[in-house]
Amino acid sequence: MPTTVFDQFTRRTADVTAQLTTLGIPLTAPAPPPADLNPADPWASNYAVPVDRSSLAWCTAVTMLADHHHTGIDRQVLAADALLRELGVRGLAQLHSDLHAGARIDYRFTRCPYCSGIGEDPTQPTCGEVGCASWLEFAGHDHVCPVCRGDDFQPEWFAEEQMTELEELLADAIEEREERASLRYRLGTLLRRRGMRS
């Protein structure tokens, strides 16, 4: 039976929610204890963002953490709660970077953990379903993935393009070096001739 790329998102959430149900972990994170009100800060709030543990973002976060730390998802539930409560879906990009020792992730070569490289937000309807105009692709489109920002995952194409650029740079450097060597030779010859005349 053929499956589409979007089937993996439902499979991911189904697998994680099934494990949570088996472990007896509720699918909605409990609210954190209220913070003490600070009378010196009138704008302070103790509102906590609710965390849905059956969302694709949460399932992705807990899976990334469990895979990185080689533990079960039950050990990473609170970390995934904190991440989504603090940073939301965009926090997955920060988590991905943190798991790679703080290095910037180039999503042209690394598959996005949230959208799996399709470049669109899997929780939003696709452009085809909504009927978006083709020119919207270049005008800050709303359907782009919040993690990879719509970078195309095409390592074969980008690697070939970068190799072509590097070959051109190398050819330019060799040509420039030869020109410099030729100029040095001519200057040396000219200076030696002048030295012989005087």
Q: What is the pLDDT of residues 96-110, one digit of tens each?
A: 989 888 888 888 888
Helix pair 91-99, 77-87: axis angle to 10 deg: 130
Using pLDDT thresholds of 50, 70 and 90, give the confidence band for residue 193: confident
Provide φ and ψ at 168, rounded to 5°. -65, -45
pLDDT of 64:
93
For residue 18, the model assigns a pLDDT of 92
CA distance linking residue 118 with residue 153, whole number of Å? 7
Portion of the chain with pLDDT greater than 90, in percent: 18
Report pTM.
Answer: 0.67
Which among 66, 159, 150 has a CA at the least distance from the CA of 115?
150
Q: 69 pLDDT exceeds 70? A: yes
Tokens of 39: 């009378």
Q: How far is Cα 139 from Cα 84, in angstroms, rounded to an integer?
A: 28
